[in-house]
């Protein structure tokens, strides 16, 4: 089954943070079919995105790997079965048996039912909430000693807004302006919208399921705070990034008209 951490310490706060690609665990029944090793799998996951989500009073964090079920895709694409499903990686040694495939699909459907329940519960306290969808991404795919991928295509933070109503775009731009150009651990942050990662299925599903009640923002952090090949965290860099983003996001939410007028 899909393992998740659910934590709601203050439902009077109109915010929920998600880290759906954080996890690394696999169901035992899936392990014999894995065609890539643990290191390759870890590189394509979003380690430490749980720490970003844990800054907020209400969060859901995935402990299961996206290589079991990818919750940021529609059901028919959520279970990787061939290389084109997963960036050309040979994800499976052999095709998944129909029964196992059905079980994984059921885990996906059950998780979304729980998510709907938790969002409905928060909305019973608030007419509108903000949902953060935290991710991080690779930028040194040429290898650990190769130059970083070009900055023009790889901002330090990407705000994905394509799956939200366009009337929310100015609010996202207001957050971008709070972040862009600020110095964090000696680096001037480059923050842009909809470059490379404009948002996935999760944000689309939430906006479609709760129209006029949620603003769901996909946030992609470039892995400048870690070694994406070894998985080693740079604690000071990440701690500063977490604190900086959290402080800016709280200030932004306090100013957000969608929350103020309700």
Q: Name the E strands within the chain.
A: 4-8, 15-19, 58-62, 129-137, 157-160, 183-184, 187-188, 191-193, 214-222
Q: What is the pLDDT of residue 146?
A: 81
Q: Annotate 165-223 with three-state secondary structure.
A: CHHHHHHHHHHHHHHCCCEECCEECCEEECCCCCCCHHHHHHHHHCCCCEEEEEEEEEC
Residue 1 or 159, more confident: 159
Record the tokens describing residue 200, joined without a space. Answer: 């996935």
Q: What is the pLDDT of residue 74?
A: 97
What φ, ψ does residue 137 adopt, rounded to 5°? -140, 155
Residue 197 or 167, more confident: 167
Cβ 238 vs Cβ 51: under 8 Å: yes
Residue 145 has pLDDT above 90, yes or no: no
Sorted by where each begins, the domain ranges of the chain are 4-260
pLDDT, tens only, 45-95: 999 999 999 999 999 999 999 999 999 999 999 999 999 999 899 999 999
pLDDT, tens only, 99-134: 999 999 999 999 999 999 999 999 999 999 999 999
Residue 262 has pLDDT above 70, yes or no: no
For the domain spanning 4-260, the CATH number is 3.40.630.40
Distance of CA 91 to the CA centre of its chain: 21
Task: Report which of 61, 66, 18 is spatially closest to residue 44, judged by C-alpha positions.
Answer: 66
* Predicted confidence band of residue 261 (pLDDT cuts 50, 70, 90): low
Report the mean per-residue pLDDT for the chain.
94
Q: Which residues pair with 8 in a beta bridge?
A: 58
Average pLDDT over residues 26-51: 94
Q: What is the dihedral of CA 15, 217, 237, 59, to 10 degrees?
A: 30
């Amino acid at each position: 089954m899909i393992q998740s951490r659910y934590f709601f310490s203050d439902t009077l706060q109109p915010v929920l943070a998600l880290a759906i690609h954080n996890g690394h665990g696999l169901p035992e029944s899936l392990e014999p079919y894995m065609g890539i090793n643990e290191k390759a799998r870890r590189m394509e996951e979003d380690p430490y995105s749980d720490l970003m989500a844990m800054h907020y009073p209400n969060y859901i964090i995935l402990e299961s790997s996206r290589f079991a079920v990818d919750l940021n895709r529609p059901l028919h694409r959520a279970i990787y079965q061939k290389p084109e499903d997963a960036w050309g990686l040979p994800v499976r040694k052999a095709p998944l048996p129909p029964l196992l495939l059905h079980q994984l699909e059921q885990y996906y459907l059950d998780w979304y039912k729980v998510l709907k329940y938790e969002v409905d519960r928060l909305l019973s306290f608030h007419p509108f909430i903000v949902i953060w969808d935290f991710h991080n991404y690779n930028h040194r795919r040429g290898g650990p000693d190769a130059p970083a991928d070009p900055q023009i295509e790889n901002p330090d933070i990407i705000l994905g807004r394509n799956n939200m109503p366009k009337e929310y775009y100015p609010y996202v731009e207001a957050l971008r302006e709070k972040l862009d150009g600020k110095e964090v651990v000696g680096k001037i942050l480059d923050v842009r919208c909809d470059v490379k990662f404009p948002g996935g299925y999760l944000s689309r599903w939430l906006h479609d399921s709760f129209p006029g009640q949620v603003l769901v923002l996909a946030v992609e952090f470039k892995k400048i705070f870690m070694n994406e090949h070894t998985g080693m965290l740079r604690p000071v860099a990440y701690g500063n990034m977490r604190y900086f983003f959290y402080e800016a996001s709280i200030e932004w939410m306090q100013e957000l008209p969608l929350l103020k007028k309700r």
